[in-house]
Amino acid sequence: MASTVSAAPRKPWYTVLYIQVLIAIALGILVGYFYPNTGKALKPLGDGFIALIKMMIAPVIFCTVVHGISSMGDLKRVGRVGIKALLYFELVSTLALAIGLIVGELIQPGAGFNIDPSTMDPGAVATYVTKAKQEGIVPHLMAIIPDSYFGALARGDLLQVLLVSILSGFAIALLGKAGEPIAHAIDMAAKVFFGIIRMIVRVAPIGAFGAMAFTVGAYGVGALWNLVALIGTFYLTSVLFVLLVLGTIARFAGFSIIRFIAYIKDELLIVLGTSSSETVLPQMIQKMEHLGASRPVVGLVIPTGYSFNLDGTNIYMTLATLFLAQATNTHLTIWQELGILGIAMITSKGASGVTGAGFITLAATLAIVPDIPIQSLAILVGIDKFMSECRALTNLIGNGVACIVISRSEGELDKDKLHETMAHPIAIGEALEPGGSGVAPA
């Protein structure tokens, strides 16, 4: 027994990635607060890290989805998993939207602001409004179709990459035996891409430091105090949603939401530092596989969830909409509120984990609801960066839970591995191979 313990020495604390990221976030806050101009100048560090990860997202999703579908063999099974995933996403997302409305009505964080919309600067939200108008339902659906097959991979648009990947996966599966070498080659390519990501993710502390220094330096901690009621309400609602709603779903699926959060703590801290859940998409695919979820299910559910299962964004949309109505003394009937919920169910789809996507989606919702002055969005511009962190964190946890639940419903969840892995979590950067053992090399 003694030899077993000595063979696996504990890493020095300063080499553990999540501790490095925590230190980086703390240093970023200090630099941004005491030296705001320096903090603003550090923005390229955060942008560079996000760009490096985004560079790899399209090829990783392509390889994961294509191999997942082509390796299933039974195409009816692919359709069954897809339908289950979409039904789950719609149910939980609608629940998140409803909770945002209920909390907004109960707490009324915007009451007493008495803001005159005519005094707001429409130029402050002009960019978001323009983007929102371009995001109509028909243009949004048409935008899913890329100009060319390789154009989707080149641009990295998540929905376009998903479309191309699904079609390719089905095409290879229909080839039968002849498609097996192609599927194997794609699997080997995936290992190369994940290898690149393992190298990139080691600089996550630098990216988190730069992003946090910029956020505090550019917007100031003072922006938090001005709208502390809304920020506090949103964070509290998101925490309760994760612990109560997702926690209940997790319990029925046979695992603890607290242990799951501890398992993905590295990813959560990177998201906290960068305000974008896309920065950990590839790592989430690997970690869900290591957790015992079926590889084909992971390949379908995680990438799709980044566009269709955005619990944090949904809570924010209805809560922020009610906040703006209350702040501008715009009285809404129950039918108008239900109408907002219905509109948000549509506008929220396809808002990926990119920083600011939730704000643009909110602008798109207000553009359809004429009762609330759209220029009132200017109230939220200064704090959206702080809100986007909570949106991204909630989205990430929700997608992980969805992956386990759907894998279990297919009878493809290794429950022993699930509990064993949660009891002894791995860290990002360890030599995780797609579908492999996840054991770090000696």
Structure tokens at 86: 């979409």
For residue 64, the model assigns a pLDDT of 83
> Closest Cα partner for 124 from 361, 330, 349, 381?
381
Distance (Å, rounded) from C-alpha 111 to C-alpha 105?
Answer: 10
Structural contact between residues 24 and 273, judged by C-beta atoms closer than 8 angstroms: yes
pLDDT score of 42 more than 60: yes
Distance (Å, rounded) from C-alpha 167 to C-alpha 423?
Answer: 38
Q: Long-range contacts made by residues 386-389, C-beta under 8 angstroms, separation at least 24? A: 386/215, 386/219, 386/223, 386/224, 386/231, 387/231, 387/234, 387/316, 387/320, 387/358, 388/275, 388/276, 388/355, 388/356, 388/358, 388/359, 389/271, 389/272, 389/275
Which of 274-278, 324-328, 368-372, 431-435 has the lowest average pLDDT? 431-435
- Highest mean predicted confidence (pLDDT) among 22-26, 247-251, 283-287: 247-251
Residue 434 resides in a domain: no
Q: Which amino acid is at 158?
A: L
Average pLDDT, stretch 65-87? 80
pLDDT band at 406 (very low <50, low <70, confident <90, very high): very high
pLDDT digits (tens, 9 = 90+) for 129-175: 555 555 555 666 677 788 888 888 888 777 788 889 889 988 888 88
Residue 270 resides in a domain: yes
Structural contact between residues 293 and 403, judged by C-beta atoms closer than 8 angstroms: yes
pLDDT score of 96 more than 70: yes
Residues 6+ away with beta carbon under 8 Å from 196: 56
Task: Assign 319 to helix, strand or coil.
Answer: helix
> Closest Cα partner for 91 from 99, 101, 80, 102?
99
Structural contact between residues 301 and 82, judged by C-beta atoms closer than 8 angstroms: no
pLDDT band at 404 (very low <50, low <70, confident <90, very high): very high
CA 131 to chain CA centroid, Å, is 20
Average pLDDT, stretch 104-127? 70
Residue 58 resides in a domain: yes
Residue 130 resides in a domain: yes
Residue 116 resides in a domain: yes
Structural contact between residues 64 and 298, judged by C-beta atoms closer than 8 angstroms: yes
Q: What is the CATH number of the domain that holds 220?
A: 1.10.3860.10
Going from the C-alpha of 58 to that of each of 55, 74, 152, 159, 275, the distances in angstroms are 7, 25, 8, 10, 20
Residue 324 resides in a domain: yes
**pTM attached to this predicted model:** 0.76
DSSP 411: T
Q: What percent of the chain has pLDDT over 70?
A: 80
Residue 196 resides in a domain: yes
- Highest mean predicted confidence (pLDDT) among 126-140, 213-227, 353-367: 213-227
Structure tokens at 317: 């949309």
Average pLDDT, stretch 75-96? 85
Structural contact between residues 377 and 366, judged by C-beta atoms closer than 8 angstroms: yes
Distance (Å, rounded) from C-alpha 131 to C-alpha 146?
Answer: 19
Helix (H) or strand (E) run with residue 121 in it? none
pLDDT band at 241 (very low <50, low <70, confident <90, very high): very high
Structural contact between residues 80 and 405, judged by C-beta atoms closer than 8 angstroms: no
Residues 6+ away with beta carbon under 8 Å from 36: 216, 217, 218, 220
Instruction: Name the residue range of residue 219's domain.
Output: 15-423
Residue 331 resides in a domain: yes
> Closest Cα partner for 393 from 288, 293, 305, 274?
274
pLDDT score of 123 more than 80: no
3-state secondary structure 242-267: HHHHHHHHHHHCCCCHHHHHHHCHHH
Number of domains into which the chain is organized: 1
Task: Assign 283 to helix, strand or coil.
Answer: helix
Structural contact between residues 260 and 397, judged by C-beta atoms closer than 8 angstroms: yes
350: left (phi over 0), alpha (psi -120 to 50) or beta: left
